[in-house]
Amino acid sequence: MGKVAVGAAVVCAAAACAVAVLVVRHRMRSSGRWARAVAILKELEEKCATPIGKLRQVADAMTVEMHAGLASEGGSKLKMLISYVDNLPTGTQVIYVYYVCFYLASHSICWLQALEMPNLSLILGTTSQVKVTAWDETGLFYALDLGGTNFRVLRVQLGGKEGHVVKQEFEEVSIPRNLMVGSSSELFDFIAAELAKFVASEGEEFHLPAGRQRELGFTFSFPVKQISISSGTLIKWTKGFAIDGTVGEDVVVELTRAVERQGLDMRVSALVNDTIGTLAGGRYYDNDVVAAVILGTGTNAAYVERAHAIPKWHGLLPKSGEMVINMEWGNFRSSHLPITEFDQALDLESLNHGEQIFEKLISGMYLGELVRRVLLKMAEEAALFGDSIPPKLEIQFILRGVDYRWKLDFNGMHPKA
């Protein structure tokens, strides 16, 4: 529950730093205006407060929702998703799951390369104990990560046990806002076109064996009901997306059709949720890892649950006695959450009013907009920017979380060009 404190602290700190910058450069014309600016910040700080007692209340409320979500479908704000692939052939079948995880600050890549699951059922969303026992695959593989305002494409040349990763390349592409609220075909055609450009830039150092089709791992970071290792139906859009005609449809089919329209000979071999991919990747490096949290454009968590603690699971229990649960905790809501007037206004004007409240409090998609709303109020009531309000400050989502990292020099306390 420290994530609540982190989100609130980021909003307060960003707003406070922005105000400090402006105060240094532009003196307030009157003590009355200054007093009002201070009062607005003070009130925000109080509303965002997350003392230990409140954090425990939030944790307890989430625990109640978790139990309800595990008990029955639709019984909780938390989906606690069960989605799976079972009865895989025995032997040494290898399922290639490509997961691209771009850490915002360093642009480092964390990806899950190969899962060898002999004599074991693989379940994504509800999964038997994650175990990665092989790192011996060779060849060229691609990955696509769609989960926010940008999507990423990766290609990697694997060299087997000795070479591991021979070479890797990736690109990040911004998604135009009109495509986030357009049609499914428009969105996936745009993605497929950019993917085709990326494939076309494939250098000689990447080698695709003769007669072998390019394979693509698809990381889709939205709530999905997993049907098989390479298919899943969309439950709902989040993170500012509101696309008609896709809910209930297989997202792999949508992507495959778009890829075919581009003339690409490429097969989607795996559909992966980013949070479960992160957990699986963590388990690869440390068998004691039992949970994973995504805190980026959106937010989510996955963890290892005891199979007998999932009443809504009616299948055969895995031999491990454990299952991985995809919580979809971005939809969590509680009266104990520190919700401010700015949070309420943002939610009211959002495309999914009343949903994804927890995500709107702490994720990167919304933090910049919350800061903008705080600054706008200070500009209106305390003349923070002088007698006139900057026109851009009235444009929703003009500020993004990434903007603060690059545009503010917190050491010099002045905005960069």
The domain spans of the chain are: 2-58+335-415, 90-121+131-286
Q: Is the pTM of this model over 0.75?
A: no
Lowest mean pLDDT among 108-122, 289-303, 309-323, 390-404: 108-122
Tell which CATH architecture fits domain 2-58+335-415: 3-Layer(aba) Sandwich (3.40)
Note the CATH number of domain 90-121+131-286. 3.30.420.40
Q: Which residues contact 83 (CB under 8 A, 6 or more apart)?
A: 123, 124, 125, 126, 224, 225, 226, 227, 232, 326
Query: Considering just the CA atoms, what is the radius of gyration of the chain in Å?
Result: 23
Higher per-residue pLDDT: 149 or 101: 149
* First-to-final CA distance of the chain: 36
Report residue 343's pLDDT band, with 50, 70 and 90 as the boundaries.
very high
pLDDT in tens, 228-244: 778 889 998 888 888 88
Question: Would you state the pLDDT for residue 12?
Answer: 64
Report residue 103's pLDDT band, with 50, 70 and 90 as the boundaries.
very low
- In the set 239, 250, 343, 347, the catalytic residue is 239
pLDDT in tens, 289-339: 888 898 888 899 988 888 889 999 887 777 778 788 889 999 999 999 999
Is 244 a catalytic site residue? no
Q: Identify residue 77 by its one-letter amino acid code.
A: K
Question: Would you state the pLDDT for residue 39?
Answer: 94
Put residue 416 in one of left, alpha, beta given phi > 0 → left and psi -120 to 50 → alpha.
Answer: beta
In the predicted model, is pLDDT for residue 122 greater than 90?
no
Report residue 360's pLDDT band, with 50, 70 and 90 as the boundaries.
very high
- Helix, strand, coil shares, percent, the chain, to 5: 40, 20, 40
In the predicted model, is pLDDT for residue 411 greater than 80?
no
Question: Would you state the pLDDT for residue 16?
Answer: 65
pLDDT in tens, 1-19: 555 555 566 666 666 666 6
Say whether 271 sits in a helix, a strand or coil. Answer: strand
Question: Would you state the pLDDT for residue 123?
Answer: 31
Question: Would you state the pLDDT for residue 46?
Answer: 94
Closest CA to 14 of 367, 366, 343, 340: 367
Question: Would you state the pLDDT for residue 323?
Answer: 81
Q: Which residues contact 137 (CB under 8 A, 6 or more apart)?
A: 94, 96, 113, 114, 158, 160
pLDDT in tens, 245-273: 889 999 999 999 999 999 998 998 888 88
Lowest mean pLDDT among 110-124, 135-149, 181-195: 110-124
pLDDT in tens, 17-68: 666 656 655 555 567 888 899 999 999 999 999 999 999 999 999 999 999 9
Closest CA to 114 of 269, 222, 264: 269
The whole-chain average pLDDT of the chain stands at 76
- In the set 189, 274, 343, 347, the catalytic residue is 274
Q: What are the distances in angstroms from CA 259 to CA 88, 98, 194, 224, 254? A: 27, 18, 10, 20, 9
Question: Would you state the pLDDT for residue 20?
Answer: 63
pLDDT in tens, 203-223: 777 777 777 788 888 888 888
Is 377 a catalytic site residue? no
- Report the residue count for the chain: 417
Question: Would you state the pLDDT for residue 344?
Answer: 97
